A and B are shown apart, each in its own frame.
Chain A
């Protein structure tokens, strides 16, 4: 059944090309639409990478160490409908520490700040209350991010990516063919591009870690391609494989088991990571899983579909190169054969043989002339036959007739032709 599916999909290069083009175009469109709007950016960047607002509760060290959970519980109640992106526990070595709630840059913290301040002002003086005697200050800040690592390394990352693709192309082209090198590079580019496109379309929060998952997706796509290409090359050495049609050859070259194993085992590892860790890591794990599935899609379906026409073209070229060229080669071979045979024949006997040969020629019966004509015709026919066979035929003709006569006549006949 697997073979049936792959046999059908291997002919669908246009379909897969269209699917990929649509996804990429949709991602570019959505990205530009979001990017043009001042409120959003092309990527749904994680709050850790954006400008933000913070609400900070500074607490004396004793209260911080002993009542932190209660502080968190009360603050979250007081925020009401205001959702924070994440919290940070900023521990200090001095008299106080702080609890920082991070909000998006467009959040209005006025009411939340007032509510928290009012609550703790009363709670810290309440007798026998949890927060009695604690020193708590509430402050808000607005932060505009000026530098983070993602902004700084984009250009160098892009250059590194380009160099990576060039080196991969050169290596694979040398080991296989230029077309296979191009296919490997395209699969790598599409592995990264498709993963990025899905991240944009699904508005998955982007952080620095997500970019790592995209790079690994590109590498896995190239690995999947190379698995198939190496299998294809191995199959070329097998006669039973070469007898199959081009489609069947490509289908049997698909490294289906290996790619599926890579996807399943990699997926299990990533699911463990996402399932056990926190929400933020889950986004990273989701992107990693998307990258893995994209690589499998490219390796199982797209690469074989695009490889099929390349293979057909390559087979056609190889077949045309192996066709017999014609008389020129034959005549050269004949000449060489005659020269070699002449050199091999003993010199003393040559004149003796020559005379009878000439006499034989002068008195050549019709049969012998016909034989010579046949030989010439044979040489003409040999123009359409493989050169080696022609040489053998001529060599046989040489055995039947004196060397010099046959050679001279053969040459003359070819010249006239």
Chain B
């Protein structure tokens, strides 16, 4: 490659890398004169796990159980007889940590019965959260009669944002009543003597033109139910009687809570139901995003397969959801980014000091790796995984490996040069000899990353990140680094100085 071409290419490359680095890591700022539009770097797009982003927690109290705080709040505002009646209606449990309604927990048998049912219900709620595939979550039993549920902050990344989605998820997963299908408020005939699983074949998430919906497939019995419903609807439409009271939808209930409504428009030619919206009584329709659809599907599947439980939890309001800062501290993420930035700087300086101008190739390769992995973490994986401390470690390990293998190549080139070859021949020989080893390392790491995808939650997340870091590292070492080196070497005036090679003078010449 000619020198001029090389210099032009080098300049373009430098500009591209600087721009991409800025897109990736430049701290956010508001545009001058515009208080609405704000610049945010790619690293702000990450879904964060609980250890880095914090999360949400909520206490779920079954009916008849209240917290100590609620009890004390009520006691502080009541007076006289009302206060006495109130105090008499509750008894303290576990030293006053919880208060139990004496009407619900009237005797030891009632308490034992409740505890047995509560244990089964807790396990079912845990199964629902497991199916949701969080990178991190925690469910605890609080003083034997309540639940505490922790979820990571990534759950909130929807157009509705923050605590609303968390509240919906927890509310749905703590819905434990029996599954029924009603038509006009009356349970359909097909469910009177049959289990729900004999009517509903499956409930799943599907998409149409990128919009998620709940897909319900019916059994033969369920299809009969649909046919009956269709006939009623057609008859009602043809009827000139304006007072016709035929139900306009098949309503899915869990306990007393309506969770889905299927109208004629939702039924396709294969007798499957497609529900794009969550039709809830009295609250209008809310278009669902993918997370909301997943949550409802999990809840429905669980209710259809496992049936209901005799535990009913109090309604969860958004004001009941607590937001907590990252477990490791509010500024952990900022500090980690600073630490990684310092590490990148050290790697670049080390390479330049050790390897001369070839170290600049290393610098470009390092920055390229940072840009590609950071952007992949942010955009390819949107909604797929969360950034955790493991992600940071994988990123750092990949960064170090890329630099070490560049060094490995440099020493191989130096070894070839020491045999008496020309610089070009040494470069060729050095790359050729290190190719197999570098390919082997990345191949093994890729196989490891792919096989770790078998793991769930955090391990699955880590595996995805290992695959991203490995593919990027392989690209940087095997292709990108060589291309950059070729460009820089072509532009270099002194190829010996470029590599810091010194050819020993032949004594005979003297």
Contacts and interface: CB of A to CB of B under 8 A. Distances in A.
Nearest to A117: B72
Contact of A147 (B98, B138, B329, B399): B138
A352 interface: no
Given A261-B404, A272-B342, A277-B336, A230 B437 contact: yes
B316 interface: no
Given A156-B459, A160-B452, A209 B404 contact: no
B462 interface: yes
A17 B350 CA distance: 35
Interface string A133-162: 000010111111111110011001101110
A277 B137 contact: no
A215 B453 CA distance: 13
B407 A261 contact: yes
Contacts of A62: none
Contact of B392 (A137, A231, A233, A273): A273
Contacts, number: 262
Interface stretch (B126-134, B182-190, B261-269, B292-300): B126-134
A254 B412 CA distance: 14
B437 A222 contact: no
Contacts of B411: 257-258
A91 B448 contact: no
A407 interface: no
A262 B138 contact: no
A175 interface: yes
Contact of A269 (B137, B140, B399): B399
Interface in A215-243: 215-216, 219-220, 222-223, 226-227, 230-231, 233-234
Contacts of A8: none
Nearest to A280: B328
Contacts of A97: 322
B319 interface: yes
B117 interface: no
Interface in B383-430: 388-390, 392-394, 396-397, 399-401, 403-405, 407-408, 411
B456 A231 contact: no
Chain B interface mostly: helix
B137 A90 contact: no
A281 B433 contact: no
B329 A277 contact: yes
B451 A163 contact: yes
A55 to B, nearest CB: 11
A314 interface: no
Given A160-B454, A262-B404, A222 B444 contact: yes
Interface stretch (A36-44, A166-174, A193-201, A317-325): A166-174
B63 interface: no
A48 interface: yes
A94 interface: yes
A265 B454 contact: no
B477 interface: no
A160 B408 contact: no
Contacts of B328: 277-278, 280-281
B346 A48 contact: no
Given A168-B447, A265-B347, A141 B142 contact: yes
B140 A143 contact: yes
Contact of B458 (A153, A223, A262, A277): A153
Contacts of A273: 336, 339-340, 343, 392, 396
A153 B454 CA distance: 10
A134 B295 CA distance: 39
A172 B459 contact: no
B509 to A, nearest CB: 25
Interface string A236-279: 00000000000000000001011001100110111011011110
A265 B346 contact: yes
Contacts of A215: 390, 452, 459, 462
A145 B67 CA distance: 18
B444 A172 contact: yes
Given A153-B456, A157-B459, A160-B455, A171 B339 contact: no
Nearest to A215: B462
Interface string B335-372: 11011101100110010000000000000000000000
A67 interface: no
A75 interface: no
B478 interface: no
The 8 closest A-B pairs by CB, nearest first: A230-B437, A94-B319, A212-B390, A90-B322, A269-B343, A278-B329, A272-B339, A139-B68
18 contacts: A93-B321, A139-B67, A145-B140, A147-B126, A147-B138, A161-B452, A172-B440, A212-B390, A212-B462, A213-B393, A219-B397, A222-B444, A258-B408, A265-B346, A269-B339, A272-B339, A277-B329, A281-B336
